[in-house]
């Protein structure tokens, strides 16, 4: 899988009248790109930050993240594209930011944040391809233009932003779980992060009552019957890929509480 370059992204932003940055509301600070935001600012384009997947967090959490980012001077809203929640608000906020007609809004953001799903929601019928996991069929490969209404266009982009977010985000969003040479280290880091914010996450997802990352991998492998043929040890690589995949598919309940971010400081 190829992550297009900053040059492609710059071209898309230059050609857009409005830029919509899509982030995952479960972890907004690791899934936004300051570099993209600075680029949009430098090119003097209006920017709207969309906190997507709001169905995966309590409403109070969505509202707090919105206020935190608004406090930094950004235009912000939250929505749940696959539930068609917030679609009308998004449409009118894009229109309010556009200064001419016709206009095109570029939908940009990290892989798997729901850019194509947002375009489908705005268009009202399925047209942009979507997929749950990086690199699997249906991820966006090329920049594509869609018409929402007369004079209103959307530019879909592949997960083009080279992922700069912290470990393990950089690894698990940039490649499919199958492509990872060793999925265990990023899975362990991911598990640690999830458990930190939701100690019961793996109980809820798999019935595994543990907070120890390595033990969680081993117990999942045992539960699913995945063993090395030779040594009969649990096949933790397979468990690691499953957990990364299930994280993308939101099967593991988890979000970063805004209070945590405020306490730790930006």
Ligand X SMILES: Nc1nc2c(ncn2[C@@H]2O[C@H](COP(=O)(O)OP(=O)(O)OP(=O)(O)O)[C@@H](O)[C@H]2O)c(=O)[nH]1
| Interface residues toward ligand X, by CB under 6 A | 52-53, 55-56, 80-83, 111-117, 130-132, 139-140, 158-159, 250
Q: Binding of Mg ion at residue 120 (CB under 5 A)?
A: no
- Min dist. Cβ of residue 60 to ligand X (A): 18
Q: How far is the CB of 126 from ligand X (least distance, A)?
A: 11
Give the integer Cα–Cα distance in Å for 112 and 116: 9
Q: Which does 111 bind (CB under 5 to 8 A by kind): Mg ion, ligand X, none?
A: ligand X
Q: Are 65 and 257 in contact (CB under 8 A)?
A: no
Which range touches Mg ion (CB under 5 A), out of 23-31, 94-102, 112-120, 182-190? 112-120
Residue 154 or 217: which CB sits closer to ligand X?
154
CB of 30 or CB of 116, closer to ligand X:
116
Candidates 116, 176, 198, 242; binder of Mg ion (CB under 5 A) is 116
Let me know: does 211 contact 191? Beta carbons within 8 Å.
Answer: no
Cis before residue 180, ω within 30 degrees of 0? no
Query: By C-beta, is 13 or 188 nearer to ligand X?
Result: 13
Name which position in 31, 52, 140, 210 contacts Mg ion (CB under 5 A): 140
Under DSSP, the state recorded for 77 is: E
Q: What is the chain's percent helix, strand, coil content, to nearest 5?
A: 45, 15, 40
Q: How far is the CB of 83 from ligand X (least distance, A)?
A: 6
Radius of gyration from C-alpha coordinates of the chain: 19
Residues 233, 226: Cα–Cα separation, whole Å: 9
Output the smallest distance, CB 116 to Mg ion, in A: 3
Return the one option of ligand X, Mg ion, none that residue 144 interacts with (CB less than 5 to 8 A, by type): none
Report the partner that residue 132 touches, choosing among Mg ion, ligand X, none (CB closer than 5 to 8 A by kind): ligand X
Complex with Mg ion: residue 116 or 176, whichever CB lies closer:
116
Say if CB 90 and CB 122 are below 8 A apart.
yes
Q: In whole angstroms, how close is the CB of 27 to ligand X at the nearest point?
A: 14
Give me the DSSP letters along 224-263: HT-B-TTT--B-HHHHHHHHHHHHHTT-S-----HHHHHH
Helix residue ranges per DSSP H, 44-168? 59-71, 87-97, 115-123
Q: Which residue is nearest to ligand X (CB)?
A: 159
Write out the residues near Mg ion by the rule CB under 5 A.
115-116, 140
């Amino acid at each position: 899988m190829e992550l297009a370059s900053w040059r492609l992204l710059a071209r898309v932003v230059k050609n857009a009248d409005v830029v919509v940055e899509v982030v995952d509301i479960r972890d907004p600070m690791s899934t936004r790109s300051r570099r993209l935001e600075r680029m949009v600012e430098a090119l003097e384009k209006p920017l709207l930050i969309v906190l997507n997947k709001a169905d995966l967090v309590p409403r109070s959490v969505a509202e707090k993240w919105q206020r935190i980012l608004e406090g930094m001077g950004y235009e912000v809203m939250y929505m749940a594209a696959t539930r068609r929640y917030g679609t009308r608000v998004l449409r009118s906020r894009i229109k309010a930011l556009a200064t001419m007609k016709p206009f095109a809004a570029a939908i940009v953001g990290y892989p798997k944040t729901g850019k194509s799903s947002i375009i489908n929601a705005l268009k009202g019928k399925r047209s942009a391809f979507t997929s749950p996991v990086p690199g699997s069929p249906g991820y966006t490969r090329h920049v594509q233009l869609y018409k929402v209404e007369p004079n209103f266009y959307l530019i879909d982009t592949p997960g083009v932003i080279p992922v700069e977010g912290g470990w393990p985000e950089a690894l698990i969003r940039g490649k499919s779980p199958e492509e990872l040479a060793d999925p265990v280290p990023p899975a362990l880091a991911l598990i640690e992060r999830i458990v930190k914010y939701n100690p019961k996450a793996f109980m809820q997802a798999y019935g595994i009552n543990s907070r120890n990352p390595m033990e969680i991998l081993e117990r999942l492998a045992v539960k699913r019957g995945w063993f090395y043929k030779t040594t009969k040890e649990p096949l933790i690589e397979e468990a690691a890929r499953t957990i990364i995949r299930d994280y993308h598919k939101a099967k593991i309940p988890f979000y970063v509480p805004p209070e945590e971010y405020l306490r730790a400081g930006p």
